[in-house]
Structure 1
């Protein structure tokens, strides 16, 4: 073999080895990000279920018109399944659950918290904060996963495998207690630019 051919072969081997190593690191990173997203989705489901449970306890002690609205919103939220653990969204369940959770946020915003037992009011505030944090953690994990999946070489080599592309879960954050502005659940949802 001549010297130029040997150098060319060595260069090709080096490029293939570097590309293989890069692909392996991306696959591992994608796997970790998908696992993180799955865990965040499970945490979000727990937070949403916890808020529904507290909303039902609140509905049991508030005035009838507010209690009925709160009960209906809680029932609607539990009638639609929480985000699936594997990230799949059969028949648009995620969007329907988002709508139900926003209705529950509006119903909870109408509750006079000063009239509640302090322990129940604190439990409600904790449940709402837990939903806000769980949603943010979930959406951060989704964003990080989608950013890596959108890289050109990751798409070309199909490094994400058969994992479904994760989707954001968008619900309105309740306004803090004492805020002059109500919950902003009527705003138009803006898609995140990637």
Structure 2
């Protein structure tokens, strides 16, 4: 009778370890999926900001801003960070009037981009942390997906003159 309890206890321990491993693998997979979705959302916000900057540049005859916006729109993935940083610098050099609908569109797109970038960064950090745990690495739970990558750009938030505190 005593031997049966050892078998039951061992089966229970094996079942709990298996449940934990399945849960951990699912968590790693979900975090990777969320990071990939955040990357797609970030890409969409990058495109919206570049498009609204191009419209603003066309209406104001801003040649440099238009060129930076076109480069950001057409950039290959490995060139994207540099192109977006250049666009941010060009946008900061332009005087934005909050009463102008084109300026307001660029400011709003930049704010949404900043939020999307923060969400993406948080999810990439979480996915990398989960994938970096010793048990996950040992059992290669994340091998089906590539390592999530950060998108490292300057803070894209633009301040309209009304947003800047006086003095």
* TM-score (structure 1 length as normaliser): 0.75
Corresponding position of 1:50: 48
Within 1, Cα distance between the matches of 2:76 and 2:34? 21
Within 2, Cα distance between the matches of 1:121 and 1:154? 47
Corresponding position of 2:112: 130
Corresponding position of 2:32: 34
Pairwise CA distance, 1:8: 4.8
Within 2, Cα distance between the matches of 1:176 and 1:8? 68
Pairwise CA distance, 1:177: 2.4
Within 1, Cα distance between the matches of 2:76 and 2:108? 22
Is 1:14 the counterpart of 2:9 in the alignment? no
Which consecutive unaligned segments of at least 5 residues does structure 2 have? none
Corresponding position of 2:135: 153
Pairwise CA distance, 1:161: 3.0
Which consecutive unaligned segments of at least 5 residues does structure 1 have? 83-92, 181-194
Deviates more, 1:7-16 or 1:46-55: 7-16
- The number of residue pairs the alignment matches comes to 162
Corresponding position of 1:107: 90
Of the three residues 52, 64, 74, the one matched with 1:79 is 74
Pairwise CA distance, 1:108: 0.5
* TM-score (structure 2 length as normaliser): 0.86
Corresponding position of 1:190: none
Q: Which has the bigger relative contact order, CA under 8 A and spacing at least 6?
A: 2
Contact 2:107-2:158 at 8 Å conserved across structures: no
Is 1:139 the counterpart of 2:121 in the alignment? yes
Pairwise CA distance, 1:35: 1.7
Name whichever structure is richer in helix by fraction: 2
| Structure 1 vs Structure 2 CA RMSD | 2.1
Residue aligned with 1:168, SS: coil
Contact 2:57-2:63 at 8 Å conserved across structures: yes
Q: Deviations over 1:126-156 (max 9, x none)?
A: 1101110111111111111111111111111
